[in-house]
């Protein structure tokens, strides 16, 4: 099996503030093909050093992935450095240039002269289409090495890798079957989850198990690899079934769907509408729910009641309730949810109130309210981390409370 | 000034879950000495590849920092690889071994035989004391290159670097000063910005300029370096002043503050309160504004009016206005902003309505409304990218519209 190296290009990645995170995604993708990443390099916008790095990688590894440095400016040197390293020239592509101009036109802008730099291809390279940005990628084969030039922004790199590079790589690699399953959980710490499921996954020597903590959620990836599809499938399905049973109702997704997508689908299935009332999160919960395409099928809207006055004015939370219990309390969370439900006419309403810090003795204390056709309930949680984490975890807690409610209703109705 | 390279050793750093973060700390420390990090490499526990990486780094750079691979197990290969790369032997140190045994005794444990591996020094190396763990570091000078072997755990690496490496580096380096400035802009594409300012920054050979596109914003970093503080300062300040003048009111921050922080500070300075009415963004704008600590000083709250009915019910947007112009229109954006201002009693209100896709002919069309004490205005933009980008860029557009409004009021009042 060939080895891979990843080279991230950009002086900003050599500052104390920035890390190359694209390599994590690329490593995951390459590993899934059975390819190991044996070296990762970050190099600045320096043509000579970049040429030297590319030559070194090509001498050692059969797959070389370059990310970044494909922009239109003078310090975007990847194209030039690759041409130098391979002893090839850069050639202007009329077709690419027309596509770039067309892209600018579509957004009602005129292409700057400087963007023409992005229409140059290393001689003999295949262009890789970029739906999300102006920088086309490039695919080059030389001396048994496959070299990929990909744009730096993850939103451009990922779709390009999946659509353009994966099929080309699969053609080059010996047939290997990989079977994947995943589970996503919320509401359990990573170490507790690992302690629970590691006795299972350790029993399968051909199974690669990855546990990822992502914004307060835990994603478990299971990957079995074999020359025969049946073998890979049997291993991954058996392990998946056992782990799924251990995790129980903590699992919100078995197909990679996001928590907001799962909640949206549950609401849509019962033709129910949701509204929100957000204090601590200021709108993040609604922002997350509406990240799902066609969210209007199940989301009406809501209220960002950051000040106490707004809780009273927009949601009808009684002044005395706030005075007696404080704005961060179970009664206020319930009153906020009830108010949002009544004022929007939704079937369900979620509310969030809490202390996000950074100052204060009770930072991390959050109440979630849930109004449903059966009544109003609330949950109290103490969340770890800084302001940003507390606010994101708050939205997890709210969405998961609603998910469990909807799932319980469906299973009790069945 | 010598350049530095950082080599992180460890196969776990080549998995999809792990990043080498020590390099950020080391870069910060080295930059403060005036040393630029020109390359970072991550390499697995593979002796041959590691030897090759060390040789390459020593051929190019005068400071080489190796992190990790100093543990007691078979896959801890840094000592062996450095000895190979330098053509030196490993020598057992009785003193180090005694110190290790003493350390184990202090914690009431007996040292395992395997830990003796940590008592080997590359011939001619100076040991670097480790107060926090068992792995001693090593300092080696050869062919004008200073090579440091540091332990991987940050809690061991950081004190060792500060106590043992910094004094040794300072002795080797000429005194140097670095001066930094930055500008942040919104509302101008990266390529247009570069075309505008590159004629200026290219005039300063001692100035390093980095242009970063981050979520629809552009950050410009200027860094000047010199033996004399006054010289570095003069260069960076002159370039900063000229670039600032060229970019004009597109610059929202000159100190690294986020756009929401800048808008919050402008509101706070005039004791003004803001509210929002969000359709396309579903709460992201309020979520972003409340990311700023103490946002309650200037943010009251708002309305997530995702459905047309909510625009009418919560904001008082007339049914006929939506029927005549569609929900994504200038009149509706204005009515939403006016409604939010009236119903919250805020001084300013921002509204957002648009098409985020993925389906539809007008994806990317967004209207921002702004209600202020002087009246209501709106702006139409056509935004590029996918659903996520369109929604984030929408919040940029809204915040920047308010920023310009507030800045103009302040300057016209002055």
| Strand A36-43 with A3-9, pairing | parallel
Q: Which two tokens stand for residue B158?
A: 């950081």
d(CA A295, CA B307): 10
Beta bridge partners of B301: A305, B275
d(CA B317, CA A53): 60
Give the CA count within 13 Å in the CB-facing half-sphere of A365: 11
pLDDT at A414 over 70: no
**B192 reaches A (C-beta below 8 A):** yes
Q: Which two tokens stand for residue A191?
A: 């170490």
- The three-state secondary structure class of A371 is strand
d(CA A283, CA A326): 21
| Domain A177-253 CATH assignment equals 3.40.50.1100 | no
- The three-state secondary structure class of A333 is helix
pLDDT tens digit sequence for A181-199: 999 999 887 778 888 998 9
What's the pLDDT score for residue B413?
62
What's the pLDDT score for residue A359?
86
Q: How far is A414 from chain B (nearest CA, A)?
A: 31
**H-run or E-run covering A387:** helix A387-413
- Residue where the block lists tokens 């704005």: A327
pLDDT at A413 over 70: no
d(CA A350, CA A131): 36
Instruction: Report the residue of chain B nearest A15, measured CA to CA.
Output: B27
pLDDT at A172 over 70: yes
Interchain pair B211, A75: CB under 8 A: yes
What's the pLDDT score for residue B343?
97
Q: Which of residues 286-345 of A touch B (CB under 8 A)?
A: 286-291, 293, 295-296, 299-307, 309-310, 313-314, 343-345
pLDDT at A92 over 90: yes
Backbone angles phi, psi at B353, to 5 degrees: -140, 140
d(CA B116, CA B154): 23
Interchain pair B306, A307: CB under 8 A: no
What's the pLDDT score for residue B241?
97
pLDDT tens digit sequence for B134-144: 889 999 999 99
- Residue where the block lists tokens 């409304």: B369
Instruction: Report the residue of chain B nearest A21, measured CA to CA.
Output: B19
Supply angle C-alpha B254, A77, B240, rounded to 5: 20
Interchain pair A301, B281: CB under 8 A: no
Q: How far is A221 from chain B (nearest CA, A)?
A: 11
Torsion of the alpha carbons at B7, B13, B15 and B16, rounded to the nearest 10: -90
Can you tell me the ipTM of this complex?
A: 0.76
Q: Can the peptide bond before residue A410 be classed as cis, meaning omega within 30 degrees of 0?
A: no
Please state the three-class secondary structure of B228-281 as a single string: CHHHHHHHHHHHHHHHHHHHHHHEEECCCCCHHHHHHHHHHHCCCCEEEEECCC
In the predicted model, what is the mean pLDDT of residues A321-337?
Answer: 97
Residues 6+ apart with CB under 8 A from B310: A300, A301, A344, B303, B304
DSSP state of B163: I
In sequence order, which ranges of B61-106 are alpha helices (DSSP H)? Answer: 78-86, 94-106
Contact A388, B291 (CB under 8 A): yes
Residues 6+ apart with CB under 8 A from A256: A182, A184
Instruction: Report the residue of chain A nearest B364, measured CA to CA.
Output: A107
In the predicted model, what is the mean pLDDT of residues A376-393?
Answer: 93
Nearest to B40 among A38, A42, A300 (CB): A42
Q: How many Cβ pairs closer than 8 A exist between chain A and B? A: 251
pLDDT at B202 over 80: yes
Question: Hey, CA dihedral for A296, B279, B258, B261, is it positive or negative?
Answer: negative
d(CA A407, CA A259): 13
Q: Which two tokens stand for residue A316?
A: 């009808």
Would you give the distance in Å from CA B183 to the centre of its chain? Answer: 14
d(CA A88, CA A124): 8
Mutate to test the interface with A, among B52, B61, B290 (most CBs of A within 10 A): B290
d(CA A183, CA A196): 14
- Going by pLDDT thresholds of 50, 70 and 90, the confidence category of residue A200 is very high
What's the pLDDT score for residue B410?
67
DSSP one-letter string for B343-380: HHT-SEEEEEEE---SSSTTTTEEEEEEEETTEEEEEE
pLDDT tens digit sequence for B365-404: 999 999 999 999 999 999 988 899 999 999 999 999 999 9
Residues 6+ apart with CB under 8 A from A88: A122, A123, A124
Q: What is the CATH number of domain A3-172?
A: 3.40.980.10
Closest by alpha carbon to A314, among A339, A335, A338, A331?
Answer: A339
What's the pLDDT score for residue B401?
97
**B201 reaches A (C-beta below 8 A):** no
In the predicted model, what is the mean pLDDT of residues A285-292?
Answer: 98
Torsion of the alpha carbons at A152, A153, A159 and A161, rounded to the nearest 10: 20
The per-residue b/e assignment along B92-125, b for 16 or more CB within 10 angstroms, e otherwise, is ebeebbebbeebeeeeeeebeeebebbbbbbeeb
- Going by pLDDT thresholds of 50, 70 and 90, the confidence category of residue B190 is confident
Kindly list the domain boundaries of chain A, sorted by start residue. Answer: 3-172, 177-253, 259-413
The per-residue b/e assignment along A314-333, b for 16 or more CB within 10 angstroms, e otherwise, is bbebeeebbeeeebbbbbbb
- Going by pLDDT thresholds of 50, 70 and 90, the confidence category of residue A410 is low
Mean of the per-residue pLDDT values for chain B? 93
What's the pLDDT score for residue B414?
54
B319 burial via Cβ count (<10 Å: 0-12, 13-18, 19+): exposed
What's the pLDDT score for residue A408?
85
B128 burial via Cβ count (<10 Å: 0-12, 13-18, 19+): buried
What's the pLDDT score for residue B207?
87
pLDDT tens digit sequence for B26-63: 998 898 788 999 999 999 989 999 999 999 999 999 99
DSSP state of A74: T
Biggest CA-to-CA distance, chain A: 78
Interchain pair A293, B358: CB under 8 A: yes
Contact B407, B266 (CB under 8 A): yes
Topology of the domain covering A259-413: Maf protein (3.90.950)
Supply angle C-alpha A336, A342, A347, rounded to 5: 100
Cβ-defined contacts of B403-408 (< 8 Å, 24+): B403/B252, B403/B259, B403/B262, B403/B263, B403/B266, B404/B249, B405/B348, B405/B370, B405/B372, B406/B263, B406/B266, B406/B267, B406/B270, B406/B272, B406/B348, B407/B249, B407/B266
């Amino acid at each position: 099996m060939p080895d891979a190296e990843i080279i991230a290009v950009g002086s900003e990645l050599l500052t104390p503030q920035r890390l190359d995170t694209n390599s994590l995604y690329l490593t995951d993708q390459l590993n899934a093909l059975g390819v190991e990443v044996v070296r990762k390099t970050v190099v600045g916008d320096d043509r000579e050093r970049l040429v030297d790095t590319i030559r070194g990688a090509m001498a050692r590894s059969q797959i070389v992935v370059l990310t970044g440095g494909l922009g239109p400016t003078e310090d975007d040197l990847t194209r030039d450095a690759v041409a130098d390293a391979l002893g090839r020239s850069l050639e202007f592509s009329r077709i690419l240039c027309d596509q770039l101009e067309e892209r600018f036109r579509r957004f009602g802008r005129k292409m700057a002269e400087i963007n023409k730099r992005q229409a140059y291809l290393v001689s003999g390279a295949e262009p890789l289409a970029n739906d999300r940005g102006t920088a086309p990628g490039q695919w080059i084969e030389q001396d048994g090495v496959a070299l990929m030039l990909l744009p730096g922004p993850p939103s451009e790199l990922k779709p390009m890798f999946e659509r353009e590079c994966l099929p080309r790589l699969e053609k080059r690699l010996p047939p290997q079957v990989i079977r994947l399953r995943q589970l996503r959980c919320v509401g359990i710490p990573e170490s507790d989850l690992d302690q629970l499921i590691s006795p299972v996954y350790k029993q399968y020597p051909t199974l690669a198990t990855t546990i990822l903590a992502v914004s307060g959620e835990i994603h478990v990836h299971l990957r079995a690899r074999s020359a025969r599809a049946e073998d890979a499938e049997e291993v991954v399905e058996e392990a998946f079934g056992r782990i799924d049973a251990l995790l129980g109702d903590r699992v919100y997704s078995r197909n990679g769907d996001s928590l907001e997508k799962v909640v949206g689908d549950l609401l849509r299935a019962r033709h129910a509408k949701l509204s929100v009332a957000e204090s601590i999160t200021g709108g993040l919960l609604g922002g997350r729910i509406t990240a799902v395409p066609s969210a209007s099928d199940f989301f009406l809207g809501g209220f960002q009641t950051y000040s106490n006055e707004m809780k009273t004015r927009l949601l009808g939370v009684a002044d005395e309730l706030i005075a007696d219990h404080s704005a961060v309390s179970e009664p206020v969370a319930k009153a906020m949810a009830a108010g949002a439900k009544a004022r929007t006419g939704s079937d369900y309403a979620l509310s969030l109130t809490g202390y996000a810090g950074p100052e204060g003795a009770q930072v991390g204390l959050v109440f979630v309210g849930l109004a449903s056709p059966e009544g109003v309930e609330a949950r109290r949680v103490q969340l770890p981390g800084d302001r940003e984490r507390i606010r994101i975890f708050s939205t997890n807690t709210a969405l998961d409370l609603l998910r469990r409610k909807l799932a319980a209703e469906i299973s009790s109705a069945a």
